[in-house]
Structure 1
Amino acid sequence: MSLLELSNVGFSYDRRSQTLDDVSFTVTEGRSVGLVGESGSGKSTILKLMLGLSRQQSGEITFEGRPLDLSSGAFMRDYRRKVQAVFQDPYSSLDPRQKVKSIISEPLRSLKIPGNHDQIVAEALSAVGLPEEALTRYPHAFSGGQRQRIAIARAVAAQPKLLLADEAVSALDLSTRILIVDLFRKLSERMTLVFVSHDLGVVAALCEEMVILEKGQIVEAGNTQDIIANPRHPYTRKLLESIPRMPCAMK
Structure 2
Amino acid sequence: MTLMSVENVSFSYGAGRRVLEDITFDVPRGSNVGLVGESGSGKSTLLRLLLGLDTPRSGRILFDGQPLEAKSGRYMRSYRRRVQAVFQDPYSSLNPAHRILRIVTEPLRSLKVPGDHRAMAEEAMAAVGLPADSLGRFPDQFSGGQRQRIAIARAIVARPELVLADEAVSALDLSTRVRVVDLFRDISERMTMVFVSHDMGVVAALCDRIVVLDRGRIVEAGETARILADPQNAYTRSLLSSIPRMPEGA
Q: Please give the range of the TM-score, normalised by the shorter of the 2 chains.
A: over 0.9
Query: Partners in 1 of 2:53 and 2:76 — Cα distance?
Result: 11
**In structure 2, what residue type is equivalent to 1:43?**
K
Aligned residue type for 1:245: R
State the partner residue of 1:173.
173
How far apart are residue 73 of structure 1 and its match? 2.1
For residue 5 of structure 1, what is the amino acid of its counterpart?
S
Look up the match of 1:147.
Answer: 147
- Counterpart residue identity of residue 168, structure 2: A
Counterpart code for 2:45: T
Q: 1:40 aligns to what SS in structure 2?
A: coil
1:61 counterpart letter in structure 2: I
Residue 75 (structure 1) shift = 1.3
Give the secondary-structure state (helix, strand or coil) at the position aligned to 2:181.
helix
Number of the residue aligned with 1:242 = 242
The yes-or-no answer on 1:96 pairing with 2:96 is: yes
What is the one-letter code of the residue matched to 1:132? Answer: A
Q: Which position in structure 2 is the counterpart of 1:161?
A: 161
Give the match's secondary structure for 1:232: coil
**1:213 match: secondary structure:** strand
Q: Residue 129 of structure 1 aligns to a residue in which SS?
A: coil
Report SS of the residue matched to 2:18. Answer: coil
| Runs of 4+ more than 3 Å apart | none
Residue in 2 aligned with 1:69?
69
SS at match of 1:19: strand
Percent identity between the two aligned chains: 62
The one-letter code matched in structure 2 to 1:24 is: T
Aligned counterparts of 1:249 and 1:57: Cα–Cα separation in 2: 42
CA-atom RMSD in angstroms: 0.9
1:225 matched to 2:225? The reply is: yes
* CA deviation string 1:139-186 (max 9, x = no partner): 011100000000000000010000000000000000000000000000
Q: Partners in 1 of 2:65 and 2:16 — Cα distance?
A: 33
In 2, the alpha carbon distance for the partners of 1:16 and 1:162 equals: 32
**Does the Cα contact within 8 Å between 1:205 and 1:248 map onto a contact in 2?**
no
What is the SS of the residue equivalent to 2:25? Answer: strand
The offset of 1:12, in angstroms, is 0.7
- The whole-number CA distance in structure 1 between the counterparts of 2:151 and 2:112 is 19
Find the counterpart in structure 2 of residue 122 from structure 1: 122
Q: Which runs of 5+ in 2 are unaligned?
A: none
* Structure 2 counterparts to residues 22-37 of structure 1, below 5 A: 22-37=22-37
Supply the distance in 2 between the matched residues of 1:46 and 1:3 (Cα, whole angstroms): 17
Q: How far apart in 2 are the matches of 1:58 and 1:141? A: 46
Partner of 1:52: 52
Residue pair 1:33, 1:194 contacting (<8 A) in 2 also: yes
Contact 1:95–1:139 (Cα < 8 Å) also in 2: yes
Instruction: Report the Cα distance in structure 2 between the residues aligned to 1:248 and 1:167, rounded to whole angstroms.
Output: 21
Alignment match, 1:5:
5
Q: Partners of 1:225 and 1:199 in 2: how far apart?
A: 16
User: Which residue pairs with 1:189 in the alignment?
Assistant: 189
Partners of 2:22 and 2:247 lie apart in 1 by 35
Separation (CA, whole Å) in 2 of partners of 1:187 and 1:248? 21
The 2-side partners of 1:196 and 1:71 are apart by 24
Deviation for aligned residue 1:114: 1.1
Deviations 1:14-48 (A, max 9, x none): 32311000000000101110000000000111110
Counterpart residue type for residue 14 of structure 2: D
Tell me the distance in 2 between the aligned counterparts of 1:117 and 1:16. 45
- What is the CA-CA distance between 1:2 and the residue it aligns to? 1.1
Q: CA deviation at 1:79?
A: 0.6
The runs of 5 or more residues in structure 1 that have no matched partner are: none
User: How many residue pairs align between the two structures?
Assistant: 250
Q: Which secondary structure does the structure 1 equivalent of 2:6 belong to?
A: strand
